[in-house]
Amino acid sequence: MTSVPCLVRARWTDLDQITGLIADTTLLTPSATWLVPAPDRRRTVLAAVARIWAEHALLFGEVHLLPDGTGAAVWMHRYRPLPLPVDFLARLTTTCGDHVERFRLLDGVLSLHRPVTAHNHLAFLAVPSPPGRSIRIGQLLAGSHRRMATLGLPMYAETCDEALLARYHRHGYAVGGSFRLPDGSVLWQLWRRAGAGGPAGDVRRPQRR
């Protein structure tokens, strides 16, 4: 069984680290290539957009980091419909430039298919490429599920990665549906019921620095 470290609950001072992990995880995906076709601009734009959503998660959810900083689980508490990030369209336009319409189209498709029932949403499972990626994914899922389970709501996640489906299944998720993204990728919608079993860990609040 994968050992489960005590995860660290992120703070605002961890934003650069969180956005870097998200950008590096999504950099080579088909959706990222479609969103920002220019390879030399892709990571910069992805990191800037990720920062908007990471900030939002720190306000309306929580972010869990592996102790060594090599992975992050970004959760949104969707107990009710959430507002958009402050100045979202203006920030998105400034950040994305010529690619803004593609980001707006993607956001519109995701919003259209987003569940309306109360749940905790795993918005990003940010674990860059190997070595040890599979182990780190398992540690993040197991560690953050214990915290989410205390909130008594189902957990929702999405993935386009077929290889991750088995990993999610082992941690108590089941496929609830799917739809296509603007780039043509299939996105699977995954649900984990409140109180579902699976490896468990812990999340500690960071010590004051």
Which pLDDT score is estimated for 116?
A: 92
pLDDT value at position 99? 94
Measure the CA dihedral 97/14/26/134, to 10°: 180
* Contacts for 197 with CB less than 8 Å, ≥ 6 apart: 172
How far, in Å, CA of 177 to CA of 200, rounded? 26
Question: Which pLDDT belongs to residue 203?
Answer: 44
Rounded (10°) CA dihedral 169, 77, 70, 205: -120
Mean pLDDT value across the chain? 90
Tens digit of each residue's pLDDT (9 = 90 or more) over 135-150 = 999 999 999 999 899 9
9 by DSSP, 3-state: which?
Answer: strand
Which tens digit of pLDDT belongs to each residue from 82-104?
999 999 999 999 999 999 999 99
